[in-house]
Amino acid sequence: MRSIIKAKVTVSTLTNRARFDDPHGMTATFVLVVRHTSAGIVGLAGSRAGVAVDPIIAYLAESRDVVQAAIDDPAFCAAVRDISEIVTGALRGGGKLLLAGNGGSAGDAQHLAGEILSRLNYDRAPGAAIALTTDSSVLTAIANDYGYDRVFERQILGLGRAGDVLIAISTSGRSPNILRAIAAAREKGLSVVGLTGKSGGEMPPLCDVCLRVPSDSTPVIQQIHITAGHIICGLVEQRLSPPARMK
């Protein structure tokens, strides 16, 4: 069952739970996601009589809450700033970015490498960035000869140089091949940036900067990783190649 509930309130947004008992003895628990309009607040009821909350509204609400938690977390915002400074310094000094992750995080590694090497907001000189997740021949050769835990480690040992940056992405902070990649980066003198989830797993003490998303949900963590990645790429782009109107 879905109903529309209107109330006059003074806040701009509100998420609330309400319990209603109708004349027939039915009990309904509603999750209200409300929107401020000139006519007041409009709420969408999401569940009744034990039926699961509308998954669309529930997921969007969860995503919104994690974004707000990140906004409210000074450590999160400081990490985004610090990562952008590390990346800017490396690229300005002739270094490159190496990015690694598994599954959805592999996609994020490729996405962010593309933003740096191509462009994000406007035309400018390309930045040096390599996702270590894309060469199927290299990946399968290393996995076959040395094991999957070493697919990033061996690439870093071969391609990494002092002055480069590794961006290591793991929502759990415990992916064995990511932890080995970090160790290899340390051995080669790279700066190490970690992107992970709320607990951080084993990554925080191993990284120069570790961005921890305030969530334990893998898909939501990945959403915030790419959001933070866009902010980082935008800051790097502005600092290395400011648009004409900013010069």
Residue 58 in this model has a pLDDT that exceeds 70? yes
Residue 109 in this model has a pLDDT that exceeds 70? yes
213 touches 229 (CB < 8 A):
no
Residue 82 in this model has a pLDDT that exceeds 90? yes
Residue range 223-244: mean pLDDT, rounded:
96
Tokens 């400081």 — which residue? 78
pLDDT number for residue 244: 78
Residue 46 in this model has a pLDDT that exceeds 60? no
pLDDT number for residue 246: 55
69 touches 212 (CB < 8 A):
no
pLDDT tier for residue 157 given thresholds of 50, 70 and 90:
very high
CA 115 vs CA 23, 46, 50, 202: distances in Å: 58, 38, 45, 28
pLDDT number for residue 47: 47
Residue 15 in this model has a pLDDT that exceeds 50? no
Tokens 């191993």 — which residue? 206
In angstroms, the CA 69 to CA 77 distance is 11
155's CB contacts (< 8 A; 6+ apart) are 98, 132, 138, 142
Span of 25-39, 72-86, 217-231 with lowest mean pLDDT = 25-39
